[in-house]
């Protein structure tokens, strides 16, 4: 007679086998698709490299294309120009200054940028508003 442990073990083995079969099938489909498109992919990669080297676009960092000032630079400028803005106001002003960006896209990046600027000692928050950190305040902190 089978025990509960035997049944549990058998179910676990069947689950592992089913998962493995699905995995193997997915990998086989990927390999097939890649091999069918490998010549096309090589042509696209070659033409992309050629167009990038021919253009005047500056490549920076880990492969990103530089499109002007970063979000963190824009936010620091806004806070220095208009001290006392709330976070949402800084983010709206940043979205307005960043061409082609949406408020939703800037919101996540902007909140991270505010936290990083505060951590670096460039800005401070008082009563829910953002201010540039003065040089005397930075000296006292250090």
Q: Which two tokens stand for residue 60?
A: 């920076």
Residue 72's DSSP bridge partners are: none
Provide mean pLDDT across the span 22-28. Answer: 86
Domain 67-141, classified CATH 1.10.1270.20, yes or no = no
Residue 64: how many other CB atoms lie within 10 Å: 8
Task: State the pTM of this model.
Answer: 0.49
Strand intervals (E) in 23-136: 59-60, 64-65, 85-86, 123-126, 129-132
Scan for tokens 């509960």, then name that residue: 4
Contact status, residue 110 vs residue 90, Cβ threshold 8 Å: yes
Q: DSSP secondary-structure letter at 58?
A: P
In tens, the pLDDT along 88-137 reads 999 999 888 887 777 888 888 888 999 999 999 999 999 999 999 886 54
**Contacts with 31 (C-beta within 8 Å, 6 or more apart), sequence order:** none
Q: What is the pLDDT of residue 56?
A: 46
Query: Residue 137 to residues 30, 103, 113, 132: CA-CA distances in angstroms?
Result: 57, 32, 20, 10
In tens, the pLDDT along 44-97 reads 666 665 555 554 444 455 555 556 788 889 999 999 999 999 999 999 998 888
The domain segmentation of the chain, as residue ranges, is: 1-57, 67-141
Q: Residue 27 pLDDT more than 80?
A: yes
């Amino acid at each position: 007679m089978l025990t509960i442990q035997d049944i549990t073990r058998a179910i676990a083995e069947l689950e592992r086998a089913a998962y493995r079969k699905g995995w193997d099938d997915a990998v086989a489909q990927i390999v097939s698709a890649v091999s069918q498109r490998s010549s096309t992919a090589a042509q696209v990669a070659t033409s992309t490299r050629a167009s990038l080297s021919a253009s005047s676009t500056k490549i920076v960092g880990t492969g990103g294309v530089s499109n002007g000032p970063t979000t963190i630079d824009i936010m620091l400028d806004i806070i220095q120009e208009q001290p006392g803005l709330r976070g949402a106001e800084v983010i709206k002003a940043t979205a307005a200054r960043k061409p082609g960006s949406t408020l939703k896209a800037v919101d996540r990046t902007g909140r991270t940028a505010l936290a990083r600027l505060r951590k670096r000692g460039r800005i401070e928050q008082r009563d829910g508003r953002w201010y540039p950190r003065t040089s005397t305040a930075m000296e006292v902190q250090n």
